[in-house]
Chain A
């Protein structure tokens, strides 16, 4: 069964450094998402991406965050200058059509030191 794949599985970064989290959504999917989950808390929406542009973003997704789909297969989340509170699991998700459910990757654990 097709899967959303995320790399790396764990990223450790010094505060203030830039970090790029990578995702390969399911092939032929059209809608792409990033969510985050702080340890012990619920999953929170960050951003949705469709037709090569951001379609919706949350208050969490400020100017330090950006997303890109640089080619036909990858979808990336960049955090320009990381803060301690950015430490969390970051999940990528994708879906094929608007009425289909989202499928999630296994996440990247981001640890900011």
Chain B
């Protein structure tokens, strides 16, 4: 089946630093999504990307849909303590019904 490789697994950064994480796949995806999960909660959508090459921002977050449709990255600028959580990429393949394939997640810790 389709698999996503997400890196890094974890990051420990100081408040104010920029963060970058990415996902790669051997398969093509039609949509890339980035979610954030906090303890005891479900994944919350951050950014959705629908076209190869698309670059989209949501506040301090920026994500890009790779040209090959096999990768995506998420950047967080000027991190703050509330950015702490697990960030997941998710890819949507060819079927319209929308099975999402998730990456393994990046655990982000921000030290004040």
Binding site for B on A (CB under 8 A): 4, 6, 31, 33, 35, 41-45, 48, 50, 55-56, 58, 91, 93, 95, 98-99, 101-107
Grouping DSSP codes into helix (H, G, I), strand (E, B) and loop, the B interface class, with mixed when no group exceeds half, is loop
A58 and B2 CA atoms in complex are apart in Å by 12
Binding site for A on B (CB under 8 A): 31, 33, 35, 40-45, 48, 50, 88, 90, 95-105
Q: Which residues of B lie under 8 Å from residue A31 when comparing CB positions?
A: 97-98
> B100–A99 contact, CB under 8 A?
no
| Interface Cβ pair total, 8 Å cutoff | 61
> B33–A104 contact, CB under 8 A?
no
> B43–A43 contact, CB under 8 A?
yes
Supplied contacts A42-B105, A104-B43, 4 more A-B pairs, CB within 8 Å? A35-B100, A101-B45, A102-B45, A106-B40
> A44–B102 contact, CB under 8 A?
yes
Q: Which residues of B lie under 8 Å from residue A4 when comparing CB positions?
A: 42
> A91–B100 contact, CB under 8 A?
no
Q: How near does chain B come to A59, taking the closest CB pair, in angstroms?
A: 8
Which residue in chain A gives the minimum CB-CB distance to B105? A42
A103 and B45 CA atoms in complex are apart in Å by 7
Name 8 interchain pairs, CB-CB below 8 A, sorted by A. Answer: A31-B97, A43-B100, A45-B100, A45-B101, A98-B98, A102-B45, A106-B42, A107-B41
Which residue in chain A gives the minimum CB-CB distance to B95? A56
A105 and B61 CA atoms in complex are apart in Å by 23
**Which of A31, A93, A101, A107 has the most C-beta atoms of chain B within 10 angstroms of its own C-beta?**
A101
Which residue in chain B gives the minimum CB-CB distance to A99? B50
Q: Which residues of B lie under 8 Å from residue A33 when comparing CB positions?
A: 98-100
**Which of B42, B101, B102 has the most C-beta atoms of chain A within 10 angstroms of its own C-beta?**
B42
Q: How near does chain B come to A53, taking the closest CB pair, in angstroms?
A: 11
